[in-house]
Amino acid sequence: MEYSTQVDMISVCNADGSFQPLRFRFEDRDQQIRRVQVLEVLACREIKYVTVEAYEYTCRARTEDRETLVRVRYAVRSHRWSLCQ
């Protein structure tokens, strides 16, 4: 089962209108604030359903002293970022 967590995102809007996530933070299950640095965007795909328009980014990221792969989504209509888990 997939769920998502709302995140506070810092991103760049490029000249062509595309977004590039840079870093984000979120509150984990233990109510601790986690900060994540995006090292590289590996893939971006557009998601279009009847009521959903979003962009999903697969990124190589660093949290604390660990590197991992993460998926974050930007919902176009609500202007919200979320971490897919």
The number of folded domains in the chain is 1
Is residue 63 scored above 60 in pLDDT?
yes
Q: Which amino acid is at 24?
A: F
For residue 52, give its domain range. Answer: 4-79
Does residue 17 fall inside a structural domain? yes
pLDDT single digits (tens) 64-76: 889 999 999 999 9
| The two structure tokens encoding residue 14 | 């490029």
The pLDDT value given to residue 52: 86
pLDDT single digits (tens) 17-55: 889 999 999 998 899 999 999 999 999 999 998 888 999
Does residue 84 fall inside a structural domain? no
| The two structure tokens encoding residue 47 | 């998601």
Does residue 41 fall inside a structural domain? yes
Is residue 1 scored above 60 in pLDDT?
no
Does residue 73 fall inside a structural domain? yes
Question: In angstroms, rounded to a whole number, what is the distance separating the alpha carbons of residues 43 and 51?
Answer: 23
Does residue 36 fall inside a structural domain? yes
Does residue 64 fall inside a structural domain? yes
